[in-house]
Structure 1
Amino acid sequence: MNIKKQKGSYMQMKNKKVYAATLSFALLLMGSLTACTGNADNGKSSSENSANPASNNSAAEVPADPLGKQPQLTTLTRGVPLDPNQKYPDGQDVDDNAYTRMLKTNFNIEIKNAFTASNSGTDYHQKVDLGIATGEIPDYLTELTYTEYKAIVKAGLAMDISEVWEKYASTKTKEVYKSNQELFDSLVKEDGKMYAIPSSNPMPDFLSVMWVRQDWLDKLKLKAPTNLQELEAVAKAFVEQDPDGNGKADSVGLAGPSIDGKLYQDMTNSNFAYHFDQIFAAFNSFPGIWVKDSEGKAVYGSIVPETKTALQKLADMYKAGLISQGMLTSKTEELVSNNKAGLFFGPWWFPFGDLGNSWKNDKTANWQPYSLASGSDGIYLAKGGNAARTFTVISKDNKNPEAVIKMLNIYKDGLYKHVDPAEQKVLGDASFPMYQTFSMADGPAMVLKETSNYLEGKKTADEIHTYFQDFDAYTDDAFSKIIASKTEPFDNMSISGWDFSGAKADDFGTVWAFGVGLKPYVEGKFQFVNTLTYEQTKTMEKRWSNLSKLEYETFSKIIVGQAPISAFDEFVSKWKSQGGDQVTKEIQQSLDK
């Protein structure tokens, strides 16, 4: 498998600049789905069933104001994916809260919950599937999987929202879509017609970085590792040379996965910490996703020879004590929080988590983010992620589709502008009736880029505040906190170059994530390697759970020394015979369509 020769496998390389990123994975295709409906129009195409917003009397009467109040009370029904941990202010609940009251009072939009179900398991998706089967869905549905959204379109239940989107989506809303338009168009449009609103996850979330205790490096007179060989040397020094100076042999090199943690990111799980993706990438191995083999055919990245080589290296590192002992059976995140580990792989935003706890316990902890080059060319081959994880679909029977678009506009305008900030803080964003992740492709990275412009004297703070207020007020808040905490000299980005005294200590997570954690994305040299597809085939629905379990158990045992490297070959043989070969065949067939 030669990843570097795969056409379309990478995003454009970033070097010293931030670009509006676009995932370049193949167009997702779905196998034939059947649905029984009680709708007499079920046999017609979705375009025949779709309501035309331009000819809809209610929609046509509404002025094309993206944030305008509906001329008369507009009732929308929806399915509600409930978060079991959602909190509400006193006297409020999922049916009646500050958001629903604001929508009704200020925008003449009344929300009625057609059904509610937990989003922590399969309950919500089972109810969605039932609606598809019966041919009856609410006015709109959010947090749909790609398969669910396509099934709704196939059943003729989805509205073509092309015209209503163009007419009512605000400038801010459209800018988000445009920031990753090539991908989004490929997912939600058929024959030029738009059938869904995709979520938009920011691209920096998919660039896992190498977090290193810079203060430990400085004490031991070491440089940050730039390749795997140097990483091993640094991890060895952290273990053997008492970098925390407590006189005990209790420091750890690389923190591995926690209890039941993932060994690497895959098609369904990404944007987390304590994995080994960078080490796998050093061997051109990308387990957990679909890549191309030397003949250009789809192959599962976990079964290729390069993955076997990477597993052997990880087993050697674990045996040598360079990786935290007891990984997968102990809370390795505590090694970071308690300042016992000097290295781990994770997302840019981790200062909000364990890294932030590390700083609280030791104000001199100087965690800095780096990229680990995958080869001699200095480029980090980073496993990409799904920027459009969920979808919102508007029913063809919705009489006021513009009201759904307006709610998304309100969300992008800033919920804190429309409800009491104290209540908004309790409710959070996820309980808003039209919530979905909807960020500019490079959204978070723009904060660091503009901060650099300010620190270098290229722009004034007022200019940047105006810029951020125009497209995302949340980023403006991050910028404000960064410049409030930064001390001179402005080019000193170590922990000593910031003031976190008093109340500013509460802003550490925001400041360190946006002001420091994004450096590898903004300044680094990397290329994304994306899965060829996120499709779930028929055989995957039946066999993938068992195949994934086999993979996880085999790889885990190899790394911690409970199984020899030959177990990899046995795994590949079982994987193929127990459904893997059939899945691969189905994936290739879908890509060939």
Structure 2
Amino acid sequence: MAKRKKLLSVLLAAGLLAVSGCGTGGEEARGGNSEAVSTWKMATSDQYEADAEPGETDDRAFQRFENPVDIHIGMAVSATDTSLKENGETVEDNFFIRYLREKFNINVIVDWYTADGESYNQKVSTLIASNSLPDALVTSERNYMLMAAKDGQLADLGDVFNQYASRQVLDIVNAAGDVATDKASWQGTFYSLPGLDVAASGTCVYFIRQDWLDELNLEVPKTVADLENAARAFMEAGKCDYAIEGPANGIRTYCTFLASSPGVCMLDAVYQAHNAFPGYFIKGEDGKVYYGSTTPEFKQALELLHRWYEEGILNPEIGVQTDAMKNINAGKTGIYMCSWWGLGYGNFSAFKNDPTANWQSYPLYTDEGEWNIHVGNLGNGYTLVNKNASEEVKKAVIIMNNIHVRDEAMLVNQTKIPVGYFPLRNNMAAADESEYTHNVLLSVARGETTVDDYEFKGTAYKHLKDDINALSTVFNNLDWAKDDYATIYDMNVDDNNFARMYSLMITDRPAATLKPDHEISSVSYSVTPAAEKYWSNLIAMEDAFVLQVITGKKDISEFDRFISDWKAQGGEEILKDMQDIADGRE
């Protein structure tokens, strides 16, 4: 085989409802941009010498500072992860922080940390409103980047990025095209490092306890009706009090055009199986743009979710609970939804608590047998640096990002704590990384190729070599490869690479091996002038209405009133902006 190369109130309203991802949720990528097109141009990798090998230093992208560089940061951390305590580590002093200090003389000082999600967003918005950002932090909300940039609080990272970004990082970001630089910029200035996620992070599938299905002699559900029948069977058999998990407080039930990566326990798969795409601005067959949250299909999906809530199928604490993963990890529910990272990375504790929990991942089809997905964007994070940060701090932030991208696969083999504790971790990956890796690993597991058939130095598929090597340590056997159907019973839960391998070979299997029948894109993933003015209030109104309908606090008969209010309170103006974009008049 040939080698493959390859303000405060405004802020609070703007970003309270976050979307969780393998690190964080995402925002803009494709479509028009109301800000000026970036005048800054990114460097290309060919002007620099090859990067140092993982774990090594060099004179540019991985240099060790002569004198210690202190970087003050804020962090979002998991409210339920216990790995730090179990391994004698802390948020402020752990394996990753020591690695940066000892190897590169970068001294990370965690000024504060909060639980991820709503608490973190409130903290960031308050800091921006009070002009008191730390040296650096990562946010999933582009609105926060824009607010801070417009208020003159952010450093221009363009020159320092071009000078110190690794060849690997430059290749990944350049491969994404102008959308990467545009999403990270405002009025031509490169104000943030853009997170670039794998495309599969925008695809919502459902996860189910396959061992429960097998025990009850049930077929794998294909449609919403099938899923409901399985849920009822789980409950009737005493497997769980309720069967389908929903999102936690502060997490909406579906993605939007500004946050298009499904978070854990969101319900996008249910909406899409109803041919509904709430939160997206979609160009219809007649050429007219409509808003996906104002359609009859969306109304029908809400009616179903309300019935599930009333009948006890859906978690009665949807939108109220503080931790959506608690009962999943405890084995007390059997169905939830997310994208490719939601099993393995997303529910690692579930396997530690019950090594027989055979969670599997499947698409949810319409009654007509079609698989719909909404197309996400390319980005899922923004690394912000305070304008008052020194040049050494700005350089260190760029180098820390290089280190994370290059060394992550190596580092996870040296510690038991999740890589999410790496300071300022902002994912950068090739769009097809998870699907490409799934298929390479499958080929190696089947004996069709070997590690020697692939080129690794400087590749955008930054984990590939380590992933191939992990096959022999994570899996007890490779018999599953024949049918591409791995299970928990084939795997070693205690291996450091277990979570990643589960996500790649089980959770990502639908995205890697099946082609959706319909891929729905939003006309734009950007904040238009009207959206900048009206969106925060509109989405707050919509979030409240949706949750109230699902939980019975409002009747679905008020849906038409919701539509009229949405249009009257600025929705019509946003539709005009989106129509201009769709018609090429932006």
1:35 is aligned to none
Pair 1:565 & 2:553 matched? no
1:429/1:305 CA distance change after superposition, 3 Å? closer
CA contact (8 A) 1:373 1:381 kept: no
Q: Pick one of 399, 402, 405 that aligns with 1:409.
A: 402
1:366 is aligned to 358
Q: Pick one of 20, 26, 32 that aligns with 2:31.
A: 26
Equivalent-residue separation in structure 2 for 1:353 and 1:417 (angstroms): 17
1:362-392, CA deviations, whole angstroms, 9 ceiling, x for partnerless residues? 4332211011124636333235245253266
CA contact (8 A) 1:374 1:381 kept: no
CA contact (8 A) 1:254 1:322 kept: yes
Instruction: Specify the code of the residue in structure 2 equivalent to 1:382.
Output: H
2:227 is aligned to 231
1:9 is aligned to none
Instruction: Specify the code of the residue in structure 1 equivalent to 2:290.
Output: V
Q: Pick one of 424, 439, 449 that aligns with 2:439.
A: 449
Equivalent-residue separation in structure 1 for 2:470 and 2:130 (angstroms): 47
| More displaced 10-residue stretch of structure 1: 278-287 or 353-362 | 353-362
1:221/1:545 CA distance change after superposition, 3 Å? same
1:20 is aligned to none
Equivalent-residue separation in structure 2 for 1:563 and 1:128 (angstroms): 35
Equivalent-residue separation in structure 2 for 1:563 and 1:90 (angstroms): 44
Give the CA deviation at 1:300.
2.7
2:22 is aligned to none
Task: For structure 2, list consecutive stretches of 5 or more residues without a partner in the other structure.
Answer: 1-27, 52-56, 79-83, 115-119
Equivalent-residue separation in structure 2 for 1:51 and 1:183 (angstroms): 12
1:519-564, CA deviations, whole angstroms, 9 ceiling, x for partnerless residues? 0110122254333334445665565444334323322232334433
CA contact (8 A) 1:312 1:559 kept: yes
CA contact (8 A) 1:92 1:98 kept: no
CA contact (8 A) 2:456 2:464 kept: no
Structure number with bigger Rg: 1
Instruction: Specify the code of the residue in structure 2 equivalent to 1:234.
Output: A
Give the CA deviation at 1:170.
3.8
2:6 is aligned to none
Q: Pick one of 463, 472, 488 that aligns with 1:483.
A: 472
Equivalent-residue separation in structure 1 for 2:492 and 2:268 (angstroms): 33
CA contact (8 A) 2:430 2:460 kept: no
Give the CA deviation at 1:448.
2.0
Equivalent-residue separation in structure 2 for 1:183 and 1:27 (angstroms): 10
2:426 is aligned to 436
SS at match of 2:512: helix
Instruction: Specify the code of the residue in structure 1 equivalent to 2:509.
Output: K
Equivalent-residue separation in structure 1 for 2:251 and 2:137 (angstroms): 32
SS at match of 2:31: coil
Instruction: Specify the code of the residue in structure 2 equivalent to 1:310.
Output: A
Equivalent-residue separation in structure 2 for 1:235 and 1:440 (angstroms): 36
1:521/1:231 CA distance change after superposition, 3 Å? same
1:574 is aligned to 565
Instruction: Specify the code of the residue in structure 1 equivalent to 2:214.
Output: D
1:289 is aligned to 280
CA contact (8 A) 1:188 1:195 kept: yes
CA contact (8 A) 1:487 1:498 kept: yes
SS at match of 2:556: coil
1:13 is aligned to none
Instruction: Specify the code of the residue in structure 2 equivalent to 1:412.
Output: V
Q: Pick one of 289, 301, 307 that aligns with 2:298.
A: 307
How many equivalent residue pairs?
527
1:341 is aligned to 333
2:168 is aligned to 172
SS at match of 1:412: helix
Give the CA deviation at 1:413.
2.5
Equivalent-residue separation in structure 2 for 1:381 and 1:567 (angstroms): 28
1:201-249, CA deviations, whole angstroms, 9 ceiling, x for partnerless residues? 2222222211122222223333212223333333333334x2xxxxx48
Pair 1:205 & 2:201 matched? yes
CA contact (8 A) 2:31 2:525 kept: no
1:382-403, CA deviations, whole angstroms, 9 ceiling, x for partnerless residues? 3524525326689899989987
Instruction: Specify the code of the residue in structure 2 equivalent to 1:370.
Output: Y
1:218 is aligned to 214
Equivalent-residue separation in structure 2 for 1:329 and 1:309 (angstroms): 23
Equivalent-residue separation in structure 2 for 1:315 and 1:364 (angstroms): 32
1:327/1:142 CA distance change after superposition, 3 Å? closer
Instruction: Specify the code of the residue in structure 2 equivalent to 1:350.
Output: G
Instruction: Specify the code of the residue in structure 2 equivalent to 1:373.
Output: Y
CA contact (8 A) 1:30 1:590 kept: no
Give the CA deviation at 1:420.
12
CA contact (8 A) 2:131 2:153 kept: no
Equivalent-residue separation in structure 2 for 1:414 and 1:513 (angstroms): 20
1:506-531, CA deviations, whole angstroms, 9 ceiling, x for partnerless residues? 65433322221110110122254333
CA contact (8 A) 2:165 2:399 kept: yes
| More displaced 10-residue stretch of structure 1: 407-416 or 198-207 | 407-416
Give the CA deviation at 1:26.
0.8
CA contact (8 A) 2:456 2:462 kept: no
Instruction: Specify the code of the residue in structure 2 equivalent to 1:291.
Output: I
2:17 is aligned to none
| More displaced 10-residue stretch of structure 1: 179-188 or 67-76 | 67-76
Q: Pick one of 491, 512, 520 that aligns with 1:522.
A: 512
1:45-97, CA deviations, whole angstroms, 9 ceiling, x for partnerless residues? 996xx89999xxxxxxx985656426997899998541165989799879x96
1:560/1:429 CA distance change after superposition, 3 Å? closer
CA contact (8 A) 1:140 1:394 kept: yes
TM-score of the superposed pair, with normalisation by structure 2 = 0.70
Give the CA deviation at 1:308.
1.2
Instruction: Specify the code of the residue in structure 2 equivalent to 1:513.
Output: S
2:16 is aligned to none
| More displaced 10-residue stretch of structure 1: 580-589 or 452-461 | 580-589
CA contact (8 A) 2:198 2:378 kept: no
Equivalent-residue separation in structure 1 for 2:345 and 2:97 (angstroms): 29
Equivalent-residue separation in structure 1 for 2:491 and 2:126 (angstroms): 50
1:316/1:389 CA distance change after superposition, 3 Å? same
Equivalent-residue separation in structure 1 for 2:351 and 2:90 (angstroms): 34
1:117-152, CA deviations, whole angstroms, 9 ceiling, x for partnerless residues? 8793466567778989xxxx9999975965676785
Equivalent-residue separation in structure 1 for 2:408 and 2:354 (angstroms): 36
Q: Pick one of 359, 375, 379 that aligns with 1:387.
A: 379
1:51/1:264 CA distance change after superposition, 3 Å? closer
Equivalent-residue separation in structure 2 for 1:288 and 1:486 (angstroms): 43
Equivalent-residue separation in structure 1 for 2:325 and 2:64 (angstroms): 53
Give the CA deviation at 1:498.
0.8
2:499 is aligned to 509
Pair 1:460 & 2:453 matched? no
CA contact (8 A) 1:260 1:328 kept: yes
1:82 is aligned to 74
Q: Pick one of 239, 263, 268 that aligns with 2:259.
A: 268
Equivalent-residue separation in structure 2 for 1:353 and 1:236 (angstroms): 27
Instruction: Specify the code of the residue in structure 1 equivalent to 2:292.
Output: G
TM-score of the superposed pair, with normalisation by structure 1 = 0.70
Task: For structure 1, list consecutive stretches of 5 or more residues without a partner in the other structure.
Answer: 1-22, 32-44, 55-61, 243-247
Equivalent-residue separation in structure 1 for 2:29 and 2:573 (angstroms): 25
SS at match of 1:302: helix
Equivalent-residue separation in structure 2 for 1:354 and 1:388 (angstroms): 16
Instruction: Specify the code of the residue in structure 2 equivalent to 1:69.
Output: D
Instruction: Specify the code of the residue in structure 2 equivalent to 1:273.
Output: V
Give the CA deviation at 1:439.
1.7
SS at match of 1:351: coil
